[in-house]
């Protein structure tokens, strides 16, 4: 996979594809707490909150084609948390289950020292076993369990916060 996967900083031209990938996860009720599709306009502030030096938003390309994205966002806005980031990995449905998520997570972890990140977190629904398995495989541990915190149209879901000291 090494020669076929590339990562690059996202541009505003990528935002429609990024939003499309994000929206493709909503229906499953396993990945995001959003219940309605996002729009490019609704994700513009989030997009603009990224910066290449410390909180990048990367486009993932597989065999020179768009495959998804990786984002680093502030864990909290207070300065004392600046070395801790939340990681999001979203892949096109056709790219899931093929080892690309594993490759992306490994790449993100490797880049954390360059980004001045010493703690990495992931916010994952308790019933999202594939994502939990992926993060645990890479040495993340359960740092918090928030039971029934998300109301997914009448179905209450747990949120697991996983973390890793780097």
Domain positions in the chain: 5-165
Beta bridge partners of 68: 60, 91
Give the residue-averaged pLDDT of 1-21.
Answer: 93
Look at residue 2 and tell me whether its pLDDT is greater than 70.
no
CA dist., res. 21 & res. 95, Å (int): 11
| pLDDT for residue 34 | 86
CA dist., res. 107 & res. 100, Å (int): 10
Which residues, other chains included, contact 118 with Cβ-Cβ below 8 Å and sequence gap of 6+? 83, 84, 112, 165, 166
DSSP 39: -
| pLDDT for residue 113 | 97
pLDDT tens digits for range 35-93:
899 999 999 999 999 999 999 999 999 999 999 999 999 999 899 999 999 999 999 99
| pLDDT for residue 100 | 96
Look at residue 3 and tell me whether its pLDDT is greater than 80.
no
Look at residue 1 and tell me whether its pLDDT is greater than 70.
no
| pLDDT for residue 97 | 87
Instruction: pLDDT band for 23, please (50, 70, 90 cuts).
Output: very high
Q: Over pLDDT 70: what percentage of the chain? A: 99
Write down the mean pLDDT value for the chain: 95
Q: What is the layout of strands, in order, in the sheet containing 155-165?
A: 5-9, 57-62, 65-74, 84-91, 119-125, 155-165, 141-152
Give the residue-averaged pLDDT of 8-33.
Answer: 94
Superfamily assignment of 5-165 in CATH? Gcn5-related N-acetyltransferase (GNAT) (3.40.630.30)
| pLDDT for residue 94 | 93
Look at residue 135 and tell me whether its pLDDT is greater than 90.
yes
Instruction: pLDDT band for 30, please (50, 70, 90 cuts).
Output: confident
């Amino acid at each position: 996979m090494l020669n076929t996967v590339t990562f690059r900083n996202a541009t505003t031209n990528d935002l429609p594809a990024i939003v499309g990938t994000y929206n493709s996860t909503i229906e499953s009720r396993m990945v995001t707490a959003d219940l309605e599709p996002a729009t490019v306009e609704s994700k513009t502030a989030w997009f603009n909150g990224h910066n290449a030096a410390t909180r990048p938003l990367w486009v993932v390309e597989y065999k020179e084609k768009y495959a998804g994205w990786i984002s680093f966002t502030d864990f909290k806005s207070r300065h004392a948390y600046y070395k801790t980031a939340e990681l999001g990995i979203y892949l096109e449905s056709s790219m899931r289950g093929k080892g690309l998520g594993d490759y992306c997570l490994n790449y993100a972890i490797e880049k954390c020292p360059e980004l001045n990140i010493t703690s990495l977190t992931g916010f994952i629904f308790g019933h999202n076993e594939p994502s939990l398995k992926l993060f645990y495989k890479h040495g993340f541990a359960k740092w918090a369990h928030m039971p029934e915190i998300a109301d997914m149209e009448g179905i209450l879901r747990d949120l697991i916060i996983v973390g890793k000291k780097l």
